[in-house]
Each structure stands twice: as structure tokens, then as C-alpha cells.
Structure 1
């Protein structure tokens, strides 16, 4: 009836990204597909799971830009897309007034958020499926778990901020 089972993660279950509770994401199917690939691949195919983490963030950035009628090209990389989104809802560190309580810490965290987005792309290039690998990926299950946690942090912050800006009337999304 009971048997021992090895836990592969110290923190229990995988973090959740509740996409269906976001009214501005009218069709989050692509994001759900990425999440499915990530969850399926953490143990079985860590390199693919890492790549899907980067792809999820990139897809989300493009969805926000599409809804905000901001143009981008198919060749725009994830740092450029993030810069465009960050400028849109005033996510840049410079948007936090120096007089605001905790502004210095906020500047650091927002700067780290931008670095995290860039690092997801780098991790995909080094351990994921990027750029036609010629050798097997050295990725272990801990690497896509790290990437997933970073992805959820970035995505939740972007979605929360985007929704707040729309609710306050600072942004008007297209239908």
C-alpha cells in the first residue's frame, strides 16, 4: 500500500502560472503548450524544458506587445522584446521615483528582472536546444526547475503589472 519514493525536488510541486485567471490573455493556448512541455521535460528532457521556458517568456512578451499595438520584427530577440515591454508599462528601474520608499531596492530588483530575462536566453543557448547543438546537453533536472522558477517570477510580474496598468487606465489594450 505504501512505498518509499525518491523526491526529485526539494520544494514540492512545480510553481503554478495561473494563465486562465488573466482576462487580458484572451487565448493563452500557446503559453499552456509551453508549460506542458516544461513540466513533461524537466526529468525526461531537461534541454527541451529549458528551451520552452525561454519560449514561454518570449511568447508572453509578444502577446503583450500585440495587445498594446507595439510593432516588433520576427528577428527581435528576447532582450529587445523585454525592453519594449518594459518601456510600455513603465517597468524600467528608472520609472520608480527616487523619492519613493525602497526605490533603491526597487531599482536593483527591476534590473535583476531584466538580467533574468537575458539569462534565460543564455541558459537556453548553453544548456537548452538553441543553435543546433552538436553535443548532448549537460542539463540536469535542477536546471529546468531553476529556469521554470525564473520564468514564473518574470511572467507573474509582467502580467500583474500589465493588468494593473490597464485597470488604472494607463494602457488600453486592443481587443
Structure 2
């Protein structure tokens, strides 16, 4: 029997959110019909029918919610075992919440109240909905682990992307943040790419030649040298320890990406890393990238004022 993965969002939290929707003014599918909404998350044609007249779940929804809407109550979706929103993976449950406030589904006027309500209940389980990107000026929400300090670090990272005028780096930041929960491997792979891009930007700004064949640790080491961040006997113990840790962090990100991140074909039995591991990799990568960039900026400013 397949082992069910561990969920961090409890049944109590899920029931509370569903109960709030039952008694509130927001219909879960928004302006869409049931089938249109659910098809954004599930492949209804691959789920079984509970009605012998149909081959799959898409036929059930068509008959009992579109043709005969009185057959099933509006809240049927919360307890249907095929969708398993009450006990299924956190990623699916969170995707369901995010889709409820997607611009295609919901009027902007209701979004703030809905997100605030969801986040109030999700907080006890360590998750929240946050803006991941915009579409035609409308916010698209993602689910993320709610850890202290994350917003400030990501804001610093986006400032660097702006300084580089790099849509590529901005896209990496979006991928890191947006995929921590739904695709931890992609988030880990993107965190390594983010540091690589910043190192290349620093080296190019300082006109330091690159062969283009440097591996990740080598690229970070070359950047450290360009910034005069070298471990040497003259450094005090604290600085020497910190700079030595940069090498350890670099190697760890590279190894983690190789083991469970995107970019290398993993073994068939490789399991997806937990979202917490992805969050750690993203936070470490952002901290390292911001440190290197701010060191670059500070030394460039000092050089200009000399």
C-alpha cells in the first residue's frame, strides 16, 4: 500500500477554512462553474465516476452540478473522497486556496478579505498565501512557508535584480519563492542559479575574466577573490570562520541541487524534498547572494569616493 505523505496543514485547519466558506459569502469556484475551476487543479477525466452513467468524474460534475445543480450541494467539493481536499497533500490543498483568489476566478474586491481569512487559519500550521507575481496588474497568489525575515531578504534580492536590470534574475527569484511548496526541487535548483547569476554579474562588473567552465563552487570562489574576501592567516578568527563558511554553504547548495534539485536526472526512486528543505536552500542562497552583491556595491562606492 502506498504510504501517504506527511501533511503539516491539519484536518482541523482545513475544516475551519471550509466551514468559513460554507457560512461566508464566497463561493469557492468564484465566477467559474465547478468543472472549470476544478480542471485548473485536477485532471477530472483521470478520476473515477460515482455514477454508472459516466466514465469518469468529469461526467459526474457535468450531470450533478451543471445539468442538475440541485443534486449536489455547493459544498460537495470539500468532502469528495476523489479530490481528498480534507486529507490529501498540502500542495493540493494550498493550490485550491490559491486558485480561489486567482484573477481568472475572483473579483479583486473580495481577494484581500479572503486571503486575510485563509492566512489567519493557516498561520498555526506555518503557511500563508502571498503575492508571487502579477497578471495585467492583478495579483497572483502563491503558498509559502511563513518564516520570519523572508520578506526582507527577498526584497533585497529583488532590489539586486533591479540594479542588474535583469529580468532573468527576477524570474529566478519568482521561481524560488513560488515553488517552495508545490515543487521543492525546482526551488532548490533555482536558488543555485540565482547565486550563479549574481556571481557572474559581479565578475562582469569588475571585468574579471571567466572561462565559462567554472563549476558553482569555483564561480563563488572567483567572486570572493574579486571582492578580496580571501581566507588568509592575517584575518581575525571570526572573519576567517565566516569566510570559510561561505565555501561550506556554496558546496552544500551545489550538492543539494545535484541530489534533489532540478538540473540533473535523479534516480527513479528519488523522493521529492520537503518544503522546509527547499525554504532553507532558498534562504541560504538569497543570504549568500545578497552578501556578495552588497560587498561588491560597498567596495565599488568606496573606490569611487577615493
Q: Which protein has greater RCO, CA pairs closer than 8 Å, 6+ apart?
A: 1
Between the aligned partners of 1:23 and 1:120, the Cα distance in structure 2 is 20
Q: Which runs of 5+ in 1 are unaligned?
A: 171-175
The offset of 1:145, in angstroms, is: 0.5
TM-score of the superposition, structure 2-length normalised?
0.49
The offset of 1:17, in angstroms, is: 4.2
1:119 matched to 2:252:
yes
Between the aligned partners of 1:18 and 1:78, the Cα distance in structure 2 is 22
Instruction: Provide closer, same or farther for how the CA distance between residues 109 and 59 of structure 1 changes in structure 2, counting only shifts above 3 A.
Output: same
The offset of 1:19, in angstroms, is: 4.1
Q: In structure 1, which of residues 161, 165, 173 is the aligned counterpart of residue 295 of structure 2? A: 161
User: For residues 100-151 of structure 1, what are the alpha-carbon distances to aligned partners after superposition, in whole Å with 9 as ceiling and x for unaligned?
Assistant: xxx2011001100121011111010011113212324430101110001111
1:78 alignment counterpart: 216
Pairing of 1:8-47 with structure 2 (within 5 A): 8=127, 9=145, 11-12=147-148, 14=150, 15-19=153-157, 21-22=159-160, 25-47=163-185
1:7 matched to 2:126:
yes
Give the number of the structure whose alpha-carbon radius of gyration is greater: 2
Q: Which moved more, 1:6-15 or 1:125-134?
A: 6-15
RMSD, aligned α-carbons: 2.4
TM-score of the superposition, structure 1-length normalised?
0.83
> How many pairs are equivalent?
165
Between the aligned partners of 2:148 and 2:159, the Cα distance in structure 1 is 23
Q: Secondary structure at the match of 1:16?
A: helix
Q: Secondary structure at the match of 1:91?
A: coil
The offset of 1:16, in angstroms, is: 1.8
Q: Which runs of 5+ in 2 are unaligned?
A: 1-19, 21-116, 128-144
Q: Secondary structure at the match of 1:169?
A: helix
Structure with the bigger percentage of strand = 2
1:146 matched to 2:284:
no
